[in-house]
Amino acid sequence: MPDAFALLNLPPQAALTEEQLQAAYLTASRAAHPDQAGGDTQLSADLNAALEMLKSPVTRLKHLIEQHSNTPWRAVPLDASLMGLFEKLGPLLQSAGAFLKKKQTATTALSKALLASEEMRLREALENLGTSIEEAWQELEAQLPRYDDRIAAGEGSVWIELQAIQARLAYLNKWRTQIREVLLGLML
């Protein structure tokens, strides 16, 4: 993909607000929209893809690193705080999977009622872990503006640190999605 930042006429930054993205997208897409005189279907599609890529910090950081650094990708191990979340998530997801099987096989009103308290405990544990994951996400996202000054200054070590942030955000995003899916499964 072409440089999404350049397509939207945005500086290559780790931190972008929804307002910045929307304003840049609207400005760029007005002239390119296929319904406008001189509009360009391919450019319009590229602008849409650029917006989608830059919306999420996970994909934005990956794109930023790929487009603006020569740093090779490397595996990033979980730090202690993320490992603590993961150690809670694994068993909780296993418990949820086992519970969902029990819930599917429950056919009588009595058997379903007997599962209600277990479901409430499971739902509460998932929601609490989801809150912890969201807090960790927000902490990482709040750090992003500090990296923009270092990028602008041409500091080479910033890219390795951004890779670590991107990896942590990717883990958290995956875990967030897993929790949402299980909570939705409990609703059915």
Query: Which pLDDT tens digit goes with each residue over 40-82?
Result: 788 999 999 999 999 999 999 999 999 999 888 888 888 999 9
Residues 94 and 170 both lie in one domain: yes
Residue 35 confidence (pLDDT) above 80: no
- pTM comes to 0.89
Residues 61, 116: Cα–Cα separation, whole Å: 42
What is the pLDDT at residue 96? 96
Confirm if 147 and 159 have CB atoms less than 8 A apart: no
In a domain, 68, yes or no: no
What is the pLDDT at residue 17? 94
What is the pLDDT at residue 100? 95
Residues 32 and 121 both lie in one domain: no
Residues 48 and 137 both lie in one domain: no
In a domain, 73, yes or no: no
Confirm if 58 and 171 have CB atoms less than 8 A apart: no
Residues 144 and 90 both lie in one domain: yes
Cα–Cα distances in angstroms (integers) from residue 88 to residues 95, 121, 130, 133, 134, in the given order: 11, 14, 11, 11, 14
Radius of gyration of the chain (CA): 21
Residues 184, 159: Cα–Cα separation, whole Å: 37
* pLDDT single digits (tens) 89-113: 999 999 999 999 999 999 999 999 9
Residues 188, 117: Cα–Cα separation, whole Å: 16
Lowest model confidence (mean pLDDT) among 33-42, 65-74, 179-188: 33-42
Closest CA to 24 of 12, 40, 35: 12
Find the mean pLDDT for residues 166-183.
Answer: 97
Helix, strand, coil percentages (3-state) for the chain, rounded to 5, are: 80, 0, 20
CATH number at residue 91: 1.20.58
Residue 1 confidence (pLDDT) above 80: no
Residues 156, 106: Cα–Cα separation, whole Å: 58
What is the pLDDT at residue 186? 92
Range of the domain at 140: 80-187
In a domain, 63, yes or no: no
What is the pLDDT at residue 34? 79
Count: domains in the chain: 2
